[in-house]
Amino acid sequence: MLTVYSDDHRLHFGQSELVDGKLQPCFEMPSRADTVLARVRQQNLGEVIAPEDFGLGPILRVHDRGYVEFLKGAWVRWAAEGHSGDLVSTTFPARRLRRDGPIPTALMGELGHYSFDTEAPITAGTWQAVYSSAQVALTAQDHMRQGAKTAFALCRPPGHHAGSDFMGGYCFFNNAAIVAQAFLDQGAKRVAILDVDYHHGNGTQELFYDRSDVLFASIHGDPLVEYPYFLGHADERGEGEGTGFNHNYPLPHGTDWAGWSAALDDACRKIAAYAPDALVISLGVDTYKEDPISQFKLDSPDYLRMGECIAALGLPTLFIMEGGYAVEAIGINAVNVLQGYEGAA
């Protein structure tokens, strides 16, 4: 299996996040991608290539132009105002504030407009890193356009919390959504996205909620008790044309492989019935029992089984890296999914 990877991910390195009222080092750190890359090489998964540049076009098929331009210019504006620390939003348009009112002109106000939480710090290199992360995904997708049955996009930062015009949850560009749209723009009739990250892929759900050409299935911590809290319930089935093409599997804290794989089996039945031309996997491995911010109990061998189940669908499958914060284990766990897939494909 081909892996696409760029060193540019290191340019995004948030200094801290708020945990228990204290600023702690960000869980979403550069060593995550380094660990996965080292495991890809150690296991001889296949060739590792740098991304090509497909420009902003395919990103703008998914993201709002105002949002993209804001992201591109935010750090330069922040630095010009004399700041050097990370740019982090603290004010958000909640209910009964005007979320569709005039976009504030002040940087912090505009940032709040384009964010849903404080978990996506903008640093000096964030734009280059998120642009390259999307190009990593698009390069893997292009490899499949040329006929490959599978590919691995080692994206960092991750993407599944980012929506059309908002960042949050360590995410800026929705890499999985960008490649799903690219498949459609190249002639695919239907694309399925299976999100196996511990957290609900709220951005991906939002982007395709009213569409039948992308089926979204997500297995995640129940939003009643888990981030991102405000989306991801089982009764969210899609709307309009998209009704019936969104499937959420919220699961309780403590879920192990037995409970998790039952949801996977059901999601796979839905995907098989949909008969997509391509499958995109939002590959988060924060379902691992030792993950520092998550509450599922998957163990490393379970990821081999996960890959085998995905392979049994027999679909062209593009893997996109999302979350996973037990840094020493995420290489083993992510590559186990890929090797399980290859062994069963």
Which residues are identified as catalytic? 161
Among ligand OKS, Zn ion, none, the one that 170 touches (CB under a kind-dependent 5 to 8 A) is ligand OKS
142 vs 322, which CB is nearer to Zn ion? Answer: 322
Select the residue interacting with ligand OKS from 293, 327, 344, 345 (CB under 6 A): 293
Q: Is 284 in the site for ligand OKS (CB under 6 A)?
A: yes
Q: Which of 172, 203, 173, 160 is nearest to 322 (CA)?
A: 160
Select the residue interacting with ligand OKS from 8, 34, 197, 222 (CB under 6 A): 197
- The beta strands (E) that lie in 240-287 are given as 246-251, 278-283
Q: Which of 215, 46, 50, 58 is nearest to 138 (CA)?
A: 58
Q: Is 110 in the site for Zn ion (CB under 5 A)?
A: no
Unique residue bearing structure tokens 């922040």: 78
Q: Is 166 in the site for ligand OKS (CB under 6 A)?
A: no
Phi, psi of 120 (to 5 degrees): -135, 75
Instruction: Kindly state the smallest distance separating residue 286's Cβ from Zn ion, in Å.
Output: 4
Select the residue interacting with ligand OKS from 114, 127, 152, 227 (CB under 6 A): 227
Using alpha carbons only, how large is the chain's radius of gyration in Å? Answer: 19
Of 319-338, which residues contact ligand OKS (CB under 6 A)?
A: 322-323
DSSP secondary structure, 49-77, as one string: EPPP---SHHHHTTS-HHHHHHHHHHHHH
Show the binding pattern over residues 111-130: x = contacts ligand OKS (CB under 6 A), - = does not.
--------x-----------
274 vs 296, which CB is nearer to ligand OKS? Answer: 296
Measured CA angle at 55 (ends 50, 60), to 5 deg: 125
Q: Is 221 in the site for ligand OKS (CB under 6 A)?
A: no
Whether the Cβ atoms of residue 247 and residue 274 lie closer than 8 Å to each other: no
Of 302-331, which residues contact Zn ion (CB under 5 A)?
A: 323
Unique residue bearing structure tokens 């296949």: 46
Instruction: Kindly state the smallest distance separating residue 197's Cβ from Zn ion, in Å.
Output: 4
